[in-house]
Each structure stands twice: as C-alpha cells, then as structure tokens.
Chain A
Amino acid sequence: MSSALLIEQLLNGLQFGVMLFLMAAGLTLIFGVMGLINLAHGSFYMIGAFACAAVAAWTGSFWLGLVASLAAAAAAGAIVEILVVRRLYERDHLDQVLATFALILIFSEGTRWLFGSFPLYLDIPPVLSGAIPLPGGAQYPLYRLAIIAAGILVAIGLYLLISWTRIGMRIRAGESDREMIGALGVDIGSLYTLVFALGAALAGLAGAMVGALQSVQVGMGEPVLILAFVVIVIGGIGSIKGALVGAVLVGLVDTLGRLLLPKLFAIAMGPSEGATVGAAVASMLIYIVMALILALRPQGLFPANT
C-alpha cells in the first residue's frame, strides 16, 4: 500500500469527521442548553441539502444554494422549536424521542411530496472543482479540502461565538443554570429558539456541502444522525470540544478501518474470507470503539456540566 493512498484516506477521514462535527455540534449544543434529544436533526441536514440543490439548479449558483441551505435549515429549526419542541423541554426523554421521531416521518414524507422520490444532484462549484497534487504523486479533490477548511472555520467561529460574545455567554449561562439567567432578565424563550436554529443551520450546511459529493435524497440524514450520536456519546454530551474530538476520531477510525481491516484480516485468514470478515468488522468498528470508550469512561471523553 502506497503512502499516497494512506494520505488520501487520512484526508477522507478528516473530511468525514469535519462533516460529522457540524452535525454533532448542533446536537450537543441543543442537548447541553435545553436538555433535549433531537432525532429530527438529520431532517435539517436533509433540508439543507435539498434547499442547496433546488436553489443551485434554479439560479445556477452553488453559493446561493449554500446561503439558501443555511436559511432554510435555520428557518425550519426555528419553526419546529416554536411549534413543537418548546413543549418538550419539561418532558422526559421518551416523549422527546417520540415527538422528534414523528417529526422525522413528517419531514421525510413532506420532502418526498415536494421533490418526488428521485434523488437530486448537486454539482461542485467550478472554483473548487479539480484536484491538487499530494506528496507521493497522488491527486486530491480540492472540494474535499474546502469542506475540511470550512469545518475548521466553523469550529473556530463556534469557539469565538461561545467564548467571547454576549450571546455565547448567555448560552453558557443557560447550560449551567437556566432559571438564574431567566431571573436575570434574559429572554430564555428566544435564546432557546436561537440555539435550536443555529444547530439546525450547522446541520443544513453539512447537508449542503455533502450534497455535492453524494446524491441528495430523502432519508440521507438519518445514518449521519446516528453517527453524530456516536460522536457526542464518545465526546461527552453537551461538550463542543468533545464533539470535535469525537467527530475526527470517528471519521478517521471509520475510514481507515475500512481501508486497513480487510487487508489485515486477509493476512491472517487468507484473501477472500479475510476481506469479507474484515469488511464486516470494519462496518462495526466505530461502535466497538464507542463501547470500549464507554466501558472505561461512561460519561464520554469530555464530560460537560459535572
């Protein structure tokens, strides 16, 4: 195996991790501030992708599509928060799971109604098409590098927002004592709507960016949602730092596992059987890693609010 392939797969894993971070950051923020488990987060990812694909097809500009994806996902998030989710904060997790499960059904079926059952396709913008050379002679798509860069920028932006701005201060205060900041005159209701819309917008951005790599279709959000759950469980629910570390870890472990495990098992068991077993184990690898981490640290790597 060449080093170029390894570097390429490392970058793929990093890109996957960055995308998971965008999903997980919103989920963990919503859980941390409002104590809500939101299954419908994958729907915002889907809405972002569909909005981007539809607007890009209509105007011909990927960038307008990207703006539309942020706006559509944030708007959907705000509407959902005001109409439904607001009533769930005081309920137990079971009610939250069910209500947001119902939202998935509504969003998926509604999107299928609007756009039909056929997948949409989104082209990579011309500026970012093409590839750049890697050390070792291989080429790597520029667009995937741009996703990595965008993810890193969002991570820095979130850090600055939460650590250095007044809104961030209120979000942190909301995490530690929601009644107290309410008593201090902060409008908790609109703070919650804002946090929910922010999380939804991040998911929408992730969906739009990945939409240019895969097809845009109903049900695309849920596999990513479940991986994002794994990420925040590993990282510690409520911790953005944990989400970043967990996302990169899951991205790398999954991508490299799929590359290396079939080869490793092939050495041990012979080529054909080893490749099959290796592929099966690789598809379970991140869950095995999650189980190991939880067996050692049940609250995740960076427990928040303790």
Chain B
Amino acid sequence: MNRSIPVNVVLALLPVGIALGAVAFDEPFFVTLATRMAILALAATGLNLALGLGGLVSFGHAAFFGIGGYAAGILATHALYMQPILTWPVEIGGTDSMPAIWLVAVVVAGLVALGTGAISLRTSGVYFIMITLAFAQMIYYFAISWPAYGGEDGLSVPTRAVFPGVNTATPMGFFAVCYGALLVGVTIFAILRASRFGAALQAARQNETRLAAVGIAPFRIKLVAFVLSAMLTAVAGALFADLNRFASPSMMSWQMSGELIVLIILGGTGRLFGPVAGAVLFVLIEHLLGGATERWQLFLGLILLGVVLFARGGMVGLLAGKPRHG
C-alpha cells in the first residue's frame, strides 16, 4: 500500500494548520513559527534538488541562502534611502518589491552557483563536500569583511518588502506569501523529478558511467541541478531576511549549511515533502527544547545522531514506508 500520498497531503497542510490554529487561539507567535517552517522548508527543498535527486552533498548552500538574504537587505536599504546601487553604465536603484528582489536573488545566486559549481563538480564525493564548504566560507568572509553592508554586524532590513495584492506587514499575509512560495518550490521539485531531466539527474546519482554511456553528459546535468537548487534556496533566503527584518552573515555560516542538510535528513532524503517534514520537526524541536532547556543543541545532536544511526529514511520514510525505488 502506498501511504505516501496521504502523508504528503497532511505534511503539505501542516504549516497552514499551525498558522490557522495560532490565529484561532490568538497566539500570533506561532504564525511566525509556521512562517519559519515554510521558509526553511523552501530552502531545504532547493537543496534537496541537488542532494536528494542528484546526490550532490553540498555543504555550502548557506551561501545561496545568505545571498538571497543580502539581496533583500541591500535592495530594501537602497530603496528606503533612494540611493542607486549602480550609477554606471545604467542606473539601478533599490526596490522593496518581492518579485524584483527574488529575481535579483535568483540571478546572483545562479551566477555564483554556476561559477563555484563548475569548479566543485570537477570533483566528487568527499572533495565535493569540502569544496562547497570552502566556497561558502569564502563568501561568508567576504560578507563579514565588506563594511559597506554591515560587515560582521549584518544588515537590517528597514521595511519588509511588499508583494502585489497581499499585506505582507501582517503575520498572516507574510505567511501566505511564504507558504505560496513553498508550494511553488515543491511543485517545481515534483515537475523536475518527473521530467527527463530529473530522470537523468537521478541516473547521474546512481551510476554516472551508465548515464555517460547512453550519451548524456553527467557534468552538465549536475551543474544545472546545482544552479537550480541554489536559486530556490536564494528565494528562501530573501524571505528569511524579510521575516527577521535582518540579513545576518550567520545566514551564510557553515552551521546553516549543516542545518539545511539536517532538515532534509530529518524529513527523508529525496522525498517530495521530506524537507517540509524536516523543517516542521526542526522548528518544533528548536522551540520546544529551546523553551525547556538552554542546552537544547546537545539534545538536538543526540536526536540527529539517533536518526542517522538508526532511522534511515527520516520522518517521511517512517510514516510512508520506503520509496518505491532508490
């Protein structure tokens, strides 16, 4: 019996349920938690494209998350103070419109991913993990040592960006935008996974030599997946900066990269709603344990260790059974 469809439906509706429940019980803080879940789930869905489907264990996706965050912060700051970002060769000003910010985030993250991916994908396995980590550190140190946009202090986002037709200043309005973005992200993931491209990407994970033997170059497939994956994560980063009204260099730290991988593994690698399950679980653990003890990271570590050693397949695997094919 395939239980994955009902499990997916429940998982898809879980953030909405939490947000609506929060409104019903007049606990606006939980709307913020649900928004956080949706944003982290979107970021992890992006990473899942590279990691789950392509088997590319990127330990540097926080860089793209941070690029999205800084895109939101820098554009909003320039919009507020009416300063152009570039005056030559064309004048480019700031903006506080979400679609425009996302476009910038996607383009910048895509270009960075194209450059770093082209170098990183020359290697594989453990080299790839370390190199993506090193590139993310490089971007992190760049953000820290560049004083124009806050340096180590980070960059505050003066006003939350706006989305046409939605009042993003209210928690529910902003949640709706983030949840909508998550659904679009998950849909993109599902479409890509079912496409010829997705089949080639999964074949590249399972057996690169065979893929090459049927005439498809694995390098290009993987590079495209890496770039698309970075783009989705960057949109999540832009939303995250809008949520916190702050773009912090810690969004680019290696811990963030680790957390994104953790979200996927908690939920279930390569599963459509794995990142959603992982993000819901992670934010709940963070909130409940963080409320109960200052040492919550110790227990998070123990839980994580338990999942890796004994519960392979994550939460979706536990609830919905093994995937039909690896």
Question: Footprint of B on A, CB under 8 Å?
Answer: 31, 37, 84, 87, 93-95, 97-99, 101-106, 108-110, 112-113, 222, 226, 229-230, 232-233, 237, 276, 279-280, 283-284, 287-288, 290-291, 294-295, 298-299
Contacts and interface: CB of A to CB of B under 8 A. Distances in A.
7 interchain residue pairs of minimum CB distance: A105-B301, A287-B138, A109-B298, A106-B301, A102-B304, A283-B141, A102-B305
A99 B308 contact: yes
Contacts of A101: 258, 261-262, 304
> Which bracket fits the contact residues of B?
35 or more
B137 interface: yes
Nearest to A229: B130
B297 A108 contact: yes
Contacts, number: 116
A251 to B, nearest CB: 16
A211 to B, nearest CB: 22
A298 B127 contact: yes
B308 A95 contact: yes
A284 B139 CA distance: 8
Contacts of B309: 84, 87, 99
B57 interface: yes
Given A284-B141, A290-B131, A99 B261 contact: no
Interface in B266-308: 269, 295, 297-298, 300-302, 304-305, 308
Contacts of A226: 133-134, 137, 254
Contact of A287 (B122, B137, B146): B137
Contacts of B269: 94
A236 to B, nearest CB: 10
Given A95-B308, A106-B305, A233-B134, A298 B122 contact: yes
B324 to A, nearest CB: 20
A228 B137 CA distance: 13
A105 B300 contact: yes
Interface in B124-175: 125-127, 129-131, 133-135, 137-138, 141-142, 144-147
A99 to B, nearest CB: 5
A37 B125 CA distance: 10
A109 B297 contact: yes
Contacts of B123: 294, 298-299
A37 B254 contact: no
Interface in B210-241: none
B230 to A, nearest CB: 17
A233 B295 CA distance: 34
Contacts of A237: 126-127
Contact of A98 (B137, B138, B144, B262): B262
B57 A97 contact: yes
Given A229-B134, A233-B130, A283-B142, A94 B261 contact: yes
Given A84-B305, A279-B145, A229 B135 contact: no
Contact of A233 (B59, B127, B297, B300): B127
Interface of B is mostly: helix
A94 B57 contact: yes
A37 B129 contact: yes
Contacts of B301: 102-106, 109
Given A105-B297, A284-B141, A290 B305 contact: no
Contacts of A287: 134-135, 137-138, 141
A233 B175 CA distance: 42
Nearest to A277: B146
A229 B261 contact: no
Contacts of A229: 130, 133-134
B85 interface: no
Interface in B96-139: 116, 119, 122-123, 125-127, 129-131, 133-135, 137-138
A93 B51 CA distance: 12
Nearest to A105: B301
Contacts of A280: 142, 145-146
B145 A98 contact: no
B298 A113 contact: yes
Given A84-B309, A94-B261, 4 more contacts: A94-B57, A98-B265, A113-B298, A229-B134
A290 B134 contact: yes
B239 to A, nearest CB: 25
A98 B59 CA distance: 10
28 contacts: A31-B126, A84-B305, A84-B309, A87-B309, A93-B129, A94-B51, A94-B261, A94-B265, A98-B261, A98-B304, A99-B305, A102-B308, A103-B301, A105-B300, A105-B301, A105-B304, A106-B305, A229-B133, A233-B127, A233-B134, A280-B145, A284-B138, A284-B141, A287-B141, A291-B116, A298-B122, A298-B123, A299-B127
A294 B119 contact: yes
